[in-house]
Amino acid sequence: MEKLVALSLILFTLSCQKTDVDIDYSLPTPEDLVHWDILKVEGEHSVGLNDTLFLDVYCPRTTSCDYISQLLPNEHGNRILIKAFGNSRKDSPCLMFAFPQVLPYEFVPKNRGHFSLDFIKKDHTIIRFDVNVY
């Protein structure tokens, strides 16, 4: 009987833990903007406590009228979900090519440890950028 109770408690505990699938990826979309894609993220992988880590986030553009204006984070402990938001200017003359736009992202940790910065692409896949805070 004790084994059955112990097994039931273990199963109940495991069923209550969040997995990656359970985490809410839906950040509120700023007005007049759309979820934009992310190509890559570059920067250092370590930072001191309360120091600022500067990352470069590359977002694709198909014309010179595309602009990305915001990187919005959503914190889940040591895991931070980040989405890029932007739009295309209408009624403006545009060049039919453009280099990727590079946006700065600043991360200021308040705790020591390992952090996962998960940059969510438009197709909901993730570019994971691991950071160690010393």
- The 10s digit of each residue's pLDDT in 7-61 is 444 444 444 444 444 555 556 678 889 999 999 999 999 999 999 999 999 999 9
Tell me what pLDDT residue 118 has.
98
Mean pLDDT of 98-119: 96
Contact between 82 and 72 under an 8 Å Cβ cutoff? The reply is: yes
Statement: residue 107 has pLDDT above 90 = yes
Mean pLDDT of 102-116: 97
Higher-confidence residue: 129 or 29? 129
Contact between 58 and 27 under an 8 Å Cβ cutoff? The reply is: no
Q: Chain centroid to CA 43: how far?
A: 15
Q: Where are the domains of the chain?
A: 68-89+105-133
Question: What is the pTM for the complete model shown?
Answer: 0.78
For residue 7, with 0-12 CB atoms within 10 Å meaning exposed, 13-18 middle and 19 or more buried, which class applies?
exposed
